[in-house]
Amino acid sequence: MVVSWRRQALYDTISELQIKCEESPSADLVKELLIKNSGFDYMATDEAVQLITRTKHSYYEFGDKPANVLAHCIRQSSTGQCISEVSGIDGFSADSQRINDRFRDFYSSLYTSDNLPGDAHFDDFFNGLMIPTVAPDIAVHLDKPFTAGEIKTAIMSMQSGRCPGPNGFPSEFYKAFIDKLSPLMLAIFKEASESGILPLTLRQATISLIPKKR
């Protein structure tokens, strides 16, 4: 948008003038800064008016229900992300169920190992590695049971805006209910430590397909 580009250029000029005024203030610089600020305010107001006018046009185009405008935007977004057809051994298919089946079969085969080694293979592999050992005092510390404090520290260290699992709950959810969730998670990790394996839900992953236009 041309207006946004001009506004950004004017903003950069104002920033430079502010630095000059701080380093060596003068009446001429202050006057020029006021003029530029006034022009910036006028340009920003004019751009806002254009956006409001465009919004009103969409409102009148889709009726008196804001949901119609939102639904139209969602449909446009969904259409751009929709996978209309896929190719396979038997050719192209546009059927939604067959598309899902092909993706399921493809990734199931991709993440399934063709060769499942036994314990002897693992022993041969690890026996040939020079793995450094942990000091006894550190080993004792690492073998201690999990604590609620460690669970809370791990939760608070999670990056915001991310979902750590396929349930769709973001990290902010765990942080907000940390006092209620930490005892439950502590019990889960204690059981996993005793059994030697994590629950199935903690070993699942979700693959999202994002189509890219050529």
Residues making up the chain, counted from first to last: 214
Q: What is the pLDDT of residue 182?
A: 92
Q: pLDDT of 158-200, one tens digit each?
A: 888 877 777 778 888 889 999 999 999 999 999 998 998 888 8
Please determine, for residue 35, whether its predicted confidence score (pLDDT) is greater than 90.
Answer: no
Q: Is the pTM of this model over 0.75?
A: no
d(CA 180, CA 214): 48
* Domain end call among 79, 98, 120: 79
In the structure encoding, which two tokens stand for residue 96, read together? 């939604």
Q: Comparing 6-15, 50-59, 126-135, 145-154, which segment has the lowest mean pLDDT?
A: 50-59
Residue 87 sits at φ, ψ, to 5 deg, of: -105, 150
Does residue 133 lie in a domain region? no
Do the domain assignments include residue 201? Answer: yes
pLDDT at 107 over 50: yes
Number of structural domains found in the chain: 2
pLDDT at 77: 54
- DSSP per-residue codes, 120-135: HHHHHHHHTS-PPPPP
Tokens, residue 79: 């259409």
* Residue at token pair 């305010």: 41
Question: For 77-102, what is each residue's pLDDT tens digit?
Answer: 555 556 777 777 777 877 778 877 88
* Boundary residue ending a domain (37, 58, 79): 79
* pLDDT in the model for residue 110: 79
Owning domain of residue 171: 145-209
pLDDT computed for residue 72 by the predictor? 57
Does 50 have pLDDT greater than 60?
A: yes
- pLDDT (0 to 100) of residue 52: 62
Q: Where a domain ends, among 54, 79, 104? A: 79
In a domain, 14, yes or no: yes
pLDDT of residue 152: 93
